[in-house]
Amino acid sequence: MSGLEYADYRRAPMCLIYLQDVDYTDRDSNFMEKIQNSSWLNEAWALQELLASSEISLYSSEAKRLCKKSDILQYLSLWIRIDVGILQDPASMGSACIAKQMSWAAGRQGRSETDVIHSLKGIFNIKALPGRPTPESMFHQIQFRLMQMYPDDLSIFAWRAQEPINSVTRERLLADSPAEFAFCHRIDLITPCSRLLRPPLYSKPFKLDVPLYDRRQDSYLLGLKCFDAAKPQAKLGICVRLEEQSPYYHRANAMQIEEYEWTLQKQSITVFQDGRVGNSEKLGELTRQHQQQRADARARRELEFMETGTSREENSDGGNERGSTRRSRVKLKGK
């Protein structure tokens, strides 16, 4: 599967799905339950089929028609936590924030670890990634591209770790897996944002201005400009820390999303392709220090070269004088 096949689904008038684990039965009271428990619903590539196809026709293992997607939209929405409007109209998928779209892939299974990530590439219309990255780094690169495409959608930081992590050693604010967005199916942006027409799709770090509140003692609240539909009056944020000796932020509690209601001042952060997020001011200071160190080292090398070169010239001149004196003495003896 690839992004091209996702586009093929969009163009096709109908997608045919055979449910190998669902038998055809007339007037079976467990009919909908069998479809709900079908392994297809949790497959990685089913996400593209469900979202890209205008219509789906489901067939039993005996190749007998069961129903169409349009017949069971309400059930599908309940089972896979995707809004009816989006299932009904694939073109409206962009109305969902990044975190919500990521949540659709959480818990899905594939033949390999990368199947779910490749499925997301098609949904987000992201082309081939450079090199042959690991599943974790591949997911970091996808998030990096999405932040370039949608710089105002900070819901991408609204993930939660599935188990406690050592936040001191994990200098990343980006998620490691789609599974970490499992609880984001109700998240919406406070102000809708649109995709940049010409995003800077390159691997160099880039800067963003984000709402950031200094709590002192190296602790900050990063506002995500989004809310949970279950509690729309509260804005969502995450607690991040910035160690004195490091220019990179990390999650203070990766299993928790915080709520706040006040206005936050914006500060500049720098996002890296490997998932790290740095304090732009600290990074700039470090860059200036490194540049100064390189300039000082270059000046020392030039000074040493000049001193060494002068010494050699003096030695060379002295040797010539002594040589000429010896030649004069030889001539005098010859006379």
- Cβ count within 10 A of residue 44: 22
pTM of the model: 0.81
Most confident of 19-23, 135-139, 221-225, 254-258: 221-225
Q: Who wins on pLDDT, 270 or 310?
A: 270
Contacts (Cβ under 8 Å, ≥6 apart) of 237: 211, 221, 222, 223, 224, 257, 258, 259, 260, 264
pLDDT at 59 over 70: yes
Closest residue by Cα to residue 34 from 49, 45, 46, 19 = 19
pLDDT at 306 over 80: yes
pLDDT of the residue at 172: 83
pLDDT of the residue at 324: 47
Confidence band, pLDDT 50/70/90 cuts, at residue 201:
low
pLDDT at 43 over 90: yes
Q: What is the residue type of 113? A: E
Residue with tokens 């105002």: 152
pLDDT at 189 over 80: yes
pLDDT at 58 over 90: yes
pLDDT of the residue at 334: 46
**Mean pLDDT value of segment 5-31:** 83
pLDDT at 225 over 90: yes
Q: Who wins on pLDDT, 317 or 228?
A: 228
**Mean pLDDT value of segment 221-245:** 91
pLDDT of the residue at 70: 95
**Mean pLDDT value of segment 240-267:** 88
Confidence band, pLDDT 50/70/90 cuts, at residue 25:
confident
Query: Using CA atoms, how far apart are residues 12 and 52, in angstroms rounded to an integer?
Result: 9
Confidence band, pLDDT 50/70/90 cuts, at residue 153:
very high
Q: What tokens appear for 314 in the block?
A: 């003096």
For the chain, the domains span 1-91, 96-304
pLDDT of the residue at 182: 94
pLDDT of the residue at 315: 58
pLDDT of the residue at 302: 85
Average pLDDT, the chain: 84
Share of the chain above pLDDT 70, in %: 85
